[in-house]
């Protein structure tokens, strides 16, 4: 008999509390505390005029409309001292010429930081995100579209927790962390809290070439809104045997046990048996792989990164259980694909904030927030395959990115939320390809172009399919020491359950202070 689960009513953060949280995070990251602390704080304001010939993304063509947006914001990057992190926040104020009922003001932010409470030992990790982006892979605009400003698509996430790093001798080290995240949003997205406990201790060279490691993890999720999957938990313990073959190559053998109750009828449990390797053939190349027999079948985690003076290569493949809170908590700087290209462009683009904006555009990230906005009230089994190559020249950066993601719902069906793809589907697969070019026409002028093709398919009670094409061309110019102007054109076409064509012209001027 399944255990009785108690629903928790989670309070929704009101606008005042949101502002306080953002203010505290900004103050924490930017506050000076040591003489060598380095903070880059850049307040800015941008004014944007946009014309869309199909502002409602209507299949019949819709109506054209002109909009004006004024967005004050701040970017913070702090990479030393007891407080470190990055934060990008803006308040978008949008007014339409004809359809004034679309007018809105809302906050968009994305940030991650840590406070070093005890030197090299105790840290407080925190992250936050607020965005408005379509959650469905089949209906409406594509994820990250700046024209998609419906309050039904707003998602809010805040997380905080301690992390302890410790040593039990010269070669034995460990980590223990506890992170709690809260998620809420509009359009039927359920309030949810997820708490993750992780602990591990290891000595890879305890007996010379042979070492050991032990890890434990537990995740508890609670929901307090009707139509969600209620409470659930996942727990696992692993033991690892390390064998160092050469200084560059190490093998791993893994045994353990795990259980979860995502199936509401009963608990699932299984032994874990697997292995892996870590190989660093050169200083610029890292290759690692892990495979395990898990409760859901075979799990994988493979990563390849190669960084060259004129190119950057990334390939990754994974199959594991995931949740929307984990996706929202994944800071952009933790993405190896993003991090590698960001570091590779350091000499060409010394300004870190400008470099982040360029890399986001090349890899298909929105201006603020995550690239993957698949949000659901359910847990899911996810399989991701991602590859990218960037060719870096004196004046050009050419990037090709391929991605395939497949997600299968775990547990009970989602009800009461029509925007959740798992409300009618059991499996969702998306394939996409992006080619992007950034060309510096002059020291103060750059041209960028990108083309993306994607296809989403879903299987369930009602099979679904949507194909999307998006092309953009943008010109930006440094008009003064603190002023930048830009002009862009974007075309997108969606065919399938979401069927529309749109042309968008945008003119922007931005000032830093």
- Whether 4 is covered by a domain: the verdict is no
> What is the pLDDT at residue 330?
65
Position 389 in a domain: yes
pLDDT digits (tens, 9 = 90+) for 181-231: 988 887 767 688 889 999 999 999 999 999 999 999 999 888 755 444 467
Q: Does residue 237 sit within a domain?
A: yes
pLDDT of residue 233: 87
* Domain membership flag for residue 1: no
Nearest-CA neighbor of 272 among 207, 210, 321, 229?
321
pTM (2 d.p.)? 0.83
Would you place residue 15 in the very low, low, confident or very high pLDDT band (cuts 50, 70, 90)? very low
Residue 274 lies in a domain: yes
- The per-residue pLDDT for range 148-172, each reduced to its tens digit, is 888 888 888 899 999 999 999 888 9
CB 448 within 8 A of CB 436: yes
Q: Judge whether 39 lies within some domain.
A: no
Return d(Cα 230, Cα 344) in angstroms, integer: 44
HEC letters along 408-421: EECCCCCCCCCCCH
Assigned domain for 223 exists: no
- Report percent pLDDT > 90 for the chain: 46
Closest CA relative to residue 329, chosen from 158, 137, 512: 158
CATH (domain of 251): 2.40.170
* pLDDT for position 349: 76
Q: Please tell me the predicted confidence (pLDDT) of residue 198.
A: 96
pLDDT at 8 over 90: no
How many C-beta atoms surround the C-beta of residue 33 within 10 A?
Answer: 12
pLDDT at 179: 93
Count the domains in the chain: 1
DSSP 3-state of 223: strand
Rounded mean pLDDT of the chain? 84
For 392-424, the pLDDT digits (tens) are 888 888 999 999 999 998 876 666 666 778 888
Determine, yes or no, domain membership for 307.
yes
Say which residue the tokens 């949101």 belong to.
18
* Domain range for 400: 15-34+45-217+233-405+414-460+468-512
């Amino acid at each position: 008999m399944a255990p009785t689960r108690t629903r928790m009513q989670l309070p929704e953060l009101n606008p005042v509390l949101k502002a306080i949280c953002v203010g505290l995070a900004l103050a924490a990251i930017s506050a000076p505390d040591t003489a060598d602390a380095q903070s880059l704080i850049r307040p800015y304001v941008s004014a944007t005029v946009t014309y869309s010939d199909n502002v409602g993304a209507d299949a019949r063509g819709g109506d054209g409309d002109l909009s004006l947006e004024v967005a004050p914001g701040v970017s913070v990057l702090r990479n030393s001292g007891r407080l470190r992190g990055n934060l990008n926040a803006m308040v978008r104020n949008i007014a339409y010429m004809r359809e004034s009922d679309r007018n809105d003001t809302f906050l968009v932010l994305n940030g991650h930081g840590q406070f070093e409470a005890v030197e090299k030992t105790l840290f407080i990790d925190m992250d936050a995100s607020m965005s408005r982006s379509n959650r469905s892979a089949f209906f409406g605009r594509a994820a990250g579209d700046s024209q998609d400003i419906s309050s039904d698509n707003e998602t809010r996430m805040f997380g905080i927790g301690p992390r302890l790093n410790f040593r039990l001798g010269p070669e034995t080290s460990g980590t223990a962390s506890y992170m709690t995240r809260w998620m809420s949003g509009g359009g039927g997205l359920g309030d949810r809290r997820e708490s993750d406990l992780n602990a591990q201790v290891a000595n890879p060279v305890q007996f010379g070439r042979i070492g050991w490691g032990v890890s434990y993890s537990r995740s508890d999720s609670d929901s307090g809104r009707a139509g969600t999957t209620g409470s659930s938990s996942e727990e696992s313990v692993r033991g690892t045997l390390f064998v160092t073959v050469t200084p560059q190559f190490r093998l791993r053998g893994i045994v353990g046990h795990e259980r979860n109750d995502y199936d509401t009828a009963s608990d699932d449990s299984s032994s874990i048996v697997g292995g892996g390797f870590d190989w660093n053939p050169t200083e610029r190349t890292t290759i690692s792989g892990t495979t395990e027999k898990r409760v859901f079948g075979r799990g994988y985690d493979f990563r390849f990164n190669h960084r060259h003076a004129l190119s950057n290569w990334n390939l990754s493949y994974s199959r594991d259980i995931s949740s929307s809170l984990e996706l929202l908590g994944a800071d952009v700087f933790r993405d190896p694909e993003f991090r590698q290209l960001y570091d590779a462009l350091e000499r060409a683009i010394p300004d870190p904030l400008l470099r982040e904006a360029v890399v986001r555009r090349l890899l298909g990230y929105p201006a603020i927030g995550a690239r993957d906005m698949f949000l659901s009230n359910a847990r899911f089994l996810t399989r991701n395959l991602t590859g990218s190559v960037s060719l870096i020249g004196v004046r050009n950066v050419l990037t090709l990115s391929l991605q395939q993601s497949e997600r299968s719902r775990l547990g009970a069906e989602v009800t009461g939320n029509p925007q959740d793809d798992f409300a009618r589907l059991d499996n969702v697969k998306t394939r996409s390809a992006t080619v992007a070019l950034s060309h510096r026409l002059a020291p103060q002028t750059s041209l960028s172009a990108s083309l993306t093709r994607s296809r989403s398919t879903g299987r369930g009670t009602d099979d679904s399919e949507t194909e999307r094409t998006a092309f953009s061309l943008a010109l930006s110019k440094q008009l003064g020491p603190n002023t930048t102007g830009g002009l862009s054109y974007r075309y997108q076409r969606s065919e399938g359950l979401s069927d529309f064509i749109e042309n968008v012209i945008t003119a922007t001027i931005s000032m830093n202070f």
